[in-house]
């Protein structure tokens, strides 16, 4: 590790990537879980047929059609958390308060994978600080050894 990469930069990386970034990501995931809980607890699981799929930048914008309790056909925006094609059938949650949006929950495995990635990033962010701290101890020991050599003037 070079001498110009000091403890200040390592601490900045540790705090930024090791604390702040994980907090932001966990907050975003928890907000998504809150929306999902609302749909699952208050919504009705409804069979929907994928009507249109528009792919923009790798993300799909999907609309579905379904029949509500009174038999009306409703066209709704879909948040599906999976790839689909026109004509596919999915079971998604519909809220009575917003019949023009349906929601298909994300896989629980995906959430745990995201939490794992965040944990690894948070731990890895502290490695530069530990390395700089260790280098500082090695430098200090080397300086002490040089000082002892000068003091004792060992001529062997």
pLDDT digits (tens, 9 = 90+) for 52-65: 999 988 889 999 99
User: How far from 132 is each of 5, 6, 101, 115, 120, CA to CA, in Å?
Assistant: 8, 7, 52, 27, 20
Query: Radius of gyration over alpha carbons of the chain, in Å?
Result: 28
Q: What are phi and psi of 87, to 5 degrees?
A: 100, -20
- Looking at mean pLDDT, say which of 30-39, 59-68, 115-124, 147-156 comes out highest: 59-68
* CA–CA distance, 106 with 103 (Å, rounded to integer): 9
Give the count of beta carbons closer than 10 Å to the beta carbon of residue 140. 10
CATH topology for the 43-105 domain: OB fold (Dihydrolipoamide Acetyltransferase, E2P) (2.40.50)
Per-residue pLDDT reduced to its tens digit, 16-54: 777 787 888 888 777 777 788 899 999 999 999 999 999
What is the average per-residue pLDDT within 1-27?
71
Q: Where are the domains of the chain?
A: 9-41+107-143, 43-105
pTM strictly above 0.75:
no
Burial letters 70-82, b for 16+ CB under 10 A, else e: eeeeeebebbbee
């Amino acid at each position: 590790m070079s001498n110009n990469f000091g403890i200040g930069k390592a601490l900045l990386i540790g705090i930024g990537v090791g604390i702040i970034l994980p907090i932001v990501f966990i907050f975003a995931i928890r907000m998504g879980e809150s929306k999902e809980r609302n749909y699952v607890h208050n919504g009705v699981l409804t069979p929907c047929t994928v009507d249109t799929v528009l792919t923009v930048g790798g993300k799909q914008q999907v609309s579905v059609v379904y029949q509500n309790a009174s038999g009306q056909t409703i066209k709704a925006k879909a948040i599906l958390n999976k790839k689909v094609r026109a004509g596919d059938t999915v079971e998604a949650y519909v809220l009575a308060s917003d019949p023009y949006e349906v929601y298909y929950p994300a896989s629980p495995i995906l959430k745990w994978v995201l939490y794992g990635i965040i944990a690894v990033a948070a731990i890895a962010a502290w490695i530069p600080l530990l390395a700089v701290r260790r280098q500082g101890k090695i430098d200090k020991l080397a300086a002490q050894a040089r000082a002892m050599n000068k003091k004792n003037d060992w001529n062997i």
